[in-house]
Amino acid sequence: MKRVLLGIALVFVFSVPAVAELRDSGFLRDYSKLAPHESIQSEEGLIWVDQEFAPAAYSKFMVDPVELWLAADYDESIPLEDLQGLCRFFRDAVVKAMADRYEIVDAPGPGVARIQTAITDVQPTGPVSDVISAVIPIGIVASWGKKAVTGKGIGVGEASIEAVINDSMTGKPLLMYQGRRVGHKYTEKKESKKLGDPEMVLNEWAEAIRQYFDVFHDLNENQAKQ
């Protein structure tokens, strides 16, 4: 039963469009533990979950500042201060997603999980090509053709992250994740915003972390009522 529920939760958190090969940034302690899960494909993300991890036992969270672990050849068209701003944006998004149900704390303690994340790659939104491929028929065809090969549309931005959830008292890793998401075409966003799509997918990840814990807390609450 626990394994089935874990699969359901992982569908919520990690199901994303097909993407390119993931790069090990060095942020996680041990990449050898990461593997595809039955609910996701290997090109979509890799995960490891400790067999003893009981998400419902954690109702308080420490959310560390998001770190930046980029490759040496990252896209330098994005100023470093913008990337640092994206890190702050992601942490704020995680805190906002969690805070209306769970307590956000600053110190370790019983029932406190520590969320640590890193942005490992950012590809900016291409506003002009995104607009063209969304409104001109030949552009739409070109976009679909590219998506079939690369997993993303022309001009659509993306972001890659690595994440680890630890027990705050022991420092024991409970869950590690590595993945990439791409933006979505035909969404309402400011087309001139270079980091619009990366922000969008970081928001999705923040909501996904919340949904992961909600699945197990809701199960416990329903069992308590029976």
* Residue 1 pLDDT level (bands cut at 50, 70, 90): very low
Q: Which position has the token pair 């890190």? A: 87
Nearest C-alpha neighbor of 152 from the set 124, 177, 178:
124
Number of domains observed in the structure of the chain: 1
Share of the chain above pLDDT 90, in %: 44
Q: Which of 14-23, 169-178, 204-213 has the lowest mean pLDDT?
A: 14-23
Nearest C-alpha neighbor of 163 from the set 115, 97, 212, 107:
115
pLDDT at position 73 is 82
pTM: 0.75
* Phi, psi torsion values for 166, nearest 5 degrees: -115, 155
Q: Is pLDDT at 51 greater than 80 in this prediction? A: yes
Domain that holds residue 200: 2-225
